[in-house]
Structure 1
Amino acid sequence: MKIAVGFVHGNGQQHPDFYQGMVAALEGRLAEICPEVELVPEGIYWADITDNLEKKLQDKLVPYNLRWDKMIDARGFMINFVGDAIAYQPLPIKNDQAANNYIYADIHERFALKLQSLARKAGPDAPLCLICHSLGTIITSNYLYDLQCGKISPRIREIIDMNNTPLERGETLTHLYMMGSPIALWTLRYHDFGKPVTVPAPNLRGQEIGEWVNFYDKDDVIAYPIKNLSEQYAEVVKDDIEVRNPGLLSGTPLGSHGGYYQSDEVIERIVQSLAEMSNKITAQQDIAAAKAT
């Protein structure tokens, strides 16, 4: 059984192969407990979109010889880390002819193209699992929200309509895993903490497959539990799971933020759920085949 898996990275310095180590760990464990599952992975890499602007900003600051830039590149860290989140926010301007040039749209276009690739490689009806980290959890939530609420821009709609597959429309979404998510902070824009996305996809609700799980490390000041934000979140988020991330600086407020990709607890939960879904679908198909004969 093929499962399409999209990985969405977070803020800061990133590389296109950011997800490869986690893919290897997932595939290795699945080979032990459910070899029938074939993961079809795709990295939804977007860092280059914001890096270009952030590099221009850093170049403009060079003549000022600001403190803390040479030894520890403190401002470089702030620009890369905080700048990503600021640049991603859609500009609240109505009737702007340049709307398609916003970073928000550029990143969502990349997201749509990667789902298009997954549909081509895994199949148009393949179950879709999304694994996202840090700011990537916000991007993923926004993209899914736009899909589910009919708010996809014409620019993104054109990409989806090229093949118009169920996977690209978000209709095969079964699993959503958030790691080190600051989404609780984003919900402060709404008096009731906002409306969460639906996982599994609305058309799959009630089939008892898939889940939305939020992983957080207590030492990670960027990550927050989300299930108790509201009754709506409590209904769709299956679990907030506290993990202990590996790494030399994992006990520090920021050093713990990057360890989710290597967490055995995260890997095991994802693998067990994907294997459970595969077994359920296989059993359903066997029953249907038996009835047809």
Structure 2
Amino acid sequence: MKGEKVLKIAVGFVHGIGKQHPDFYLGMAAALERRLAEVCPEVELVPEGIYWADITDNLEKKLQEKLSPYHLRWDNIIDARGFMINFVGDAIAYQPLPKIDDPAPKEYIYTDIHERFALKLQSLAHQAGPDAPLCLISHSLGTIITSNYLYDLQNGKIPPRIRGIIDKSNTPLERGETLTHLYTMGSPIALWTLRYHDFGKPISVPAMNLRGQEIGEWVNFYDKDDVIAYPIKILSEQYDEVVKDDIEVRNPGLLSGTPLGSHGGYYHSDEVIERIVQSLAEMYNKITSQHDIAAAKTTAS
């Protein structure tokens, strides 16, 4: 690509509930890179997995050990409670707790997970550049974590422990100012908004300083068979304004037609991959076009 303008895009992948591994994102990242090489080879992805499962896994393992002596029914046959602890336990453990008269402010899982998020964004800023466009691809509970982290970031609610991480480099990317794309897959955000009478306030995507430039998007993917996934544009006028599209997809896989079997298929969906690739390529074309126009004006003057 000699002589061509290369655009580095920082891409953070955020996994969801259940058993996960640190390399959960590699397959999807590789699929995006392969397709981009065909559509827009000038784009270079800098992928990073925002892995947090080990934080909740340790606590869930302790609970299972405490329950072991009771020999509860179904555990030996299909490990039903193990499934519930891993699947539902992540969501329960993540919930933020009241801060009034807090005896142990550093022990919340919510903050521990958000600290991991901040460190991964810091890594992306170092690899891709402090001003690189930021694309976040989240799944399941990871969509809630991503939304909460960005909301706290955009509304001045970041706690001191995480603020200290951001302030070390203090880059625009880590401050969320270069956020262009957000993709939510199999998202239960609609359920989380039930905590608010008006379904709450959505985050800003693209970031506020990028609004009005027609660069970036928030797209929500859902499979009708996936009982954890819901459309979100319809929640309120605010969500309708910030979410560009709710896109129904048909996830691949042998169990994709079942209520839970469809939940993990987004990572392998050609429809999801293609939408993300086309949007990132479109951003490259718009950015380079703007740069060319600016350069032409400078030369003319």
Using the size of structure 1 for normalisation, the TM-score is 0.99
1:257 to 253, 256, 263: 263
1:24-61 Cα deviation digits (max 9, x unpaired): 10000000010000000000000000000000000011
Aligned residue pair count: 293
Alignment match, 2:88: 82
2:113 to 98, 107, 116: 107
SS at match of 2:10: strand
Question: Counterpart of 1:90 in structure 2: which amino acid?
Answer: P
Question: Counterpart of 2:196 in structure 1: which amino acid?
Answer: Y
1:13-92 pair list within 5 angstroms:
13-92=19-98
Distance 2:88 2:98 in 1: 19
Distance 1:21 1:149 in 2: 34
Matched, 1:180 2:186: yes
1:131-150 pair list within 5 angstroms:
131-150=137-156
69-78 vs 250-259, greater mean Cα deviation:
69-78
Question: Counterpart of 1:268 in structure 2: which amino acid?
Answer: E
Alignment match, 1:281: 287
Q: What is the Cα deviation at residue 258 of structure 1?
A: 0.3
SS at match of 1:251: coil
Alignment match, 2:197: 191
2:11 to 5, 14, 26: 5
**Which sections of structure 1, spanning at least 5 residues, go unmatched?**
none
Distance 1:222 1:23 in 2: 23
Instruction: Name the % identity.
Output: 87
1:99-138 Cα deviation digits (max 9, x unpaired): 1210000000000000000000000000000000000000
Alignment match, 2:3: none
Alignment match, 2:165: 159
Give structure 1 regions of 4+ aligned residues with deviation exceeding 4 angstroms: none
Distance 1:292 1:256 in 2: 53
Question: Counterpart of 1:20 in structure 2: which amino acid?
Answer: L
Distance 1:260 1:283 in 2: 32
Using the size of structure 2 for normalisation, the TM-score is 0.97
Q: What is the Cα deviation at residue 97 of structure 1?
A: 3.5
Distance 2:200 2:237 in 1: 11
Distance 1:78 1:236 in 2: 33
Note closer, same or farther for the CA distance 1:93–1:153 as it changes in structure 2 (3 Å cut).
closer
Distance 2:31 2:16 in 1: 20
1:236-292 Cα deviation digits (max 9, x unpaired): 000000000000000000000000000000000000000000111011111111222
CA RMSD of aligned residues (A): 0.6
Q: What is the Cα deviation at residue 168 of structure 1?
A: 0.1
SS at match of 1:99: coil
Distance 1:230 1:117 in 2: 35
1:40-89 Cα deviation digits (max 9, x unpaired): 00000000000000000000111111111112111001000100000000
1:179-203 Cα deviation digits (max 9, x unpaired): 0000000000000000000000011
SS at match of 1:228: helix
Distance 1:72 1:279 in 2: 51
70-79 vs 242-251, greater mean Cα deviation:
70-79
Q: What is the Cα deviation at residue 176 of structure 1?
A: 0.3
Question: Counterpart of 1:227 in structure 2: which amino acid?
Answer: K
Question: Counterpart of 1:15 in structure 2: which amino acid?
Answer: H
Matched, 1:241 2:253: no
**Which sections of structure 2, spanning at least 5 residues, go unmatched?**
1-6
2:235 to 222, 226, 229: 229
Question: Counterpart of 2:14 in structure 1: which amino acid?
Answer: V
